[in-house]
Structure 1
Amino acid sequence: MTTVTIAPTGAASGARPLADTAAMLRRNLLRAVRYPGLTSFTVAIPVILLLLFVFVFGGAFGAGVAPGVTPGADGRAAYLDYITPAILLFAVVGAAQSVAISASMDATSGIMARFKTMAISPGSVLGGPVLGTVVQALIAVVVVLGLAMALGYRPDAGPAGWLALAGLVALVAFAFSWLCVAMGLSAKSVETASNTPMILTALPFLGSGFVPVETMPAGVRWFAEYQPLTPIIETTRALLTGAALDGATTALTLGWCVVITGLGYAWARSLYRRERR
């Protein structure tokens, strides 16, 4: 069990939200170091997907996403440009999935019940792991983006674009982390908590991440156009290419992040306050 020292605040003085959140953030990062298998899994899956889709499917798929491109090496290069934004978002969602496991471990082991008896800000018990997941997601994105660039990906983002991209990644990680925390707390076991958020990893495939939505059948296309990750992927793609942002797509991206954050936070807080049976 990962331990962290939290200075007692006493019932009279009350909890210290910032200090308590910082302590829980440190605890989450220490857990990531002490459980390297879980941490490396967050990066390994996006890396495997990137290599698989570029070198196995890219030669053929590239001709489909970039008309006029010849199948083969040119196709792989075109497909690498197309799917890199989706793989980056896949890494973010994968990092959020890990916090569901951490939340379930705390709930099932009794440490969360112990935290409830201490003079600790209730929000910090959940907020610390969420912030820790945001840090891990940013690291995972840097690693995957570095690999994509080593394979030949050349983003055209300027300084403002890179800053906006970092903010978008942090916002998406923050939103999905709250949702995954709630999923972890609602699970009856750690094994269930590790499986439930996997449905989120299907969203990049059922969107514009790997193929244009225009190529999909009508029903699938409708879902792909209106699910959360499609506008997020398109905004990420625009930032990386240095293209002008579409106002409607950007608004959908921010709106989805706000909605997911609100729903995840409310659900997680409700589960945290409820006595575990």
Structure 2
Amino acid sequence: MSAATPTVTGHDVAEIARTYRGSFLRDSIVVARRNLRRIARQPQIAVFVLIQPIMFVLLFRYIFGGAITIPGIPYVDFLMPGIIVQTLVFGAATTAIGVAEDLKSGIVDRFRALPMNRSAAMAGRVVSDQVLNLMSLVVMVVVGLLVGWRPTGTPAELALAFGVVVVFALSFSWIMAAIGLALKEPEAVQSAGFIWLFPLTFISNVFVPPSTMPPILQNFAENINPVSLVSNSARVLTTGAYLCGEDLCTDVSANVLGSLGWSIGIMVVFVPVTAWLWGRLGD
């Protein structure tokens, strides 16, 4: 008598495939925890990430701030929301560097050999880097209060302001993940990451009113640069007003929705690009 041959249904195949691929959420958390443990073992990573924004605050508050006048608002109240945006955007560069270092160390090859979800490695990297960004945000708020920043928004408005900035930084981390996968070398990634971040943040309303810039740069800062839009969102929610042209404006919804629109648009483009670059590794 021959043994009965078990029937494999389409459901069984799908279940096996899901098991093999692993859970996206579970695998992302595992990778994120691995990255955070690395930071705990190398606290200098977090220290350097936190020192730079403190230096920017002190430089612009006490050295350049005396020469910059903002009509109708103390300069420190104008500066802090913008510099928080700049800090978290700069923090996204750690994603590119971390991806490149993982590629060089060979850990990515081990990830690809494991039965884990294909997108989890990059998602875990991005999530762990947002923890660093949140640490930077807390430090920036404390330093800002120490140097005289007095936000007037309600707790809900402050939470929305910080949420908009964090989501924007999250979208930039996906850009940086794609850069890290494309260039692979940490040195090249570091240069490529900052070479466009510096002009993007400085040709904006983060530090000075765009009206002081040449016409071409002013148009870019006021009408094109998403960093200016996110800075305006943070300002209007934390101080009740922001500088638009030569006047103080208070339109919350246009700035917040525009900022979230940019963040979502960036992720719609760069999450698939990052997944495609991940899939091409080893080709």
Contact 1:182 1:271 in 2 (8 A): yes
Once the two structures are superposed, residues 229-251 of structure 1 have per-residue CA deviations (whole angstroms, 9 ceiling, x without a partner) of: 01000001111114554333223
Which position in structure 1 is the counterpart of 2:137?
141
AA of the residue aligned to 1:65? I
Which of 223, 233, 236 is equivalent to 1:235?
A: 233
Q: TM-score, with normalisation over the residues of structure 1?
A: 0.87
AA of the residue aligned to 1:231? L
Once the two structures are superposed, residues 84-117 of structure 1 have per-residue CA deviations (whole angstroms, 9 ceiling, x without a partner) of: 1111112201221111111111122221122111
Q: TM-score, with normalisation over the residues of structure 2?
A: 0.85
Mapping of residues 170-249 of structure 1, within 5 Å = 170-198=166-194, 199-225=196-222, 226-243=224-241, 244-249=250-255
Q: Which is greater in Rg? A: 2
Whole-Å Cα distance in 2 between the matches of residues 269 and 142 of structure 1? 31
Matched, 1:104 2:100: yes
Which position in structure 2 is the counterpart of 1:35?
42
Matched, 1:259 2:265: yes
Matched, 1:119 2:126: no
Matched, 1:129 2:145: no
Matched, 1:48 2:30: no
Contact 1:21 1:125 in 2 (8 A): yes
Give the Å deviation of 1:11. Answer: 6.5
Whole-Å Cα distance in 2 between the matches of residues 237 and 164 of structure 1? 11
Which position in structure 1 is the counterpart of 2:11?
none
Identify which range, 227-236 or 158-167, moves more after superposition: 158-167
Instruction: List runs of 5+ in structure 2 lacking aligned partners.
Output: 1-15, 242-249
Whole-Å Cα distance in 2 between the matches of residues 37 and 101 of structure 1? 15
Q: Which is bigger in relative contact order (C-alpha 8 A, separation at least 6)?
A: 2
Whole-Å Cα distance in 1 between the matches of residues 119 and 18 of structure 2? 19
**How many pairs were matched up?**
258
Identity of aligned residues (%): 31
Whole-Å Cα distance in 2 between the matches of residues 255 and 203 of structure 1? 18
Give the Å deviation of 1:66. Answer: 2.7
Whole-Å Cα distance in 1 between the matches of residues 126 and 251 of structure 2? 28
Give me the CA root mean square deviation.
Answer: 2.0
Which of 47, 50, 65 is equivalent to 2:70?
A: 65
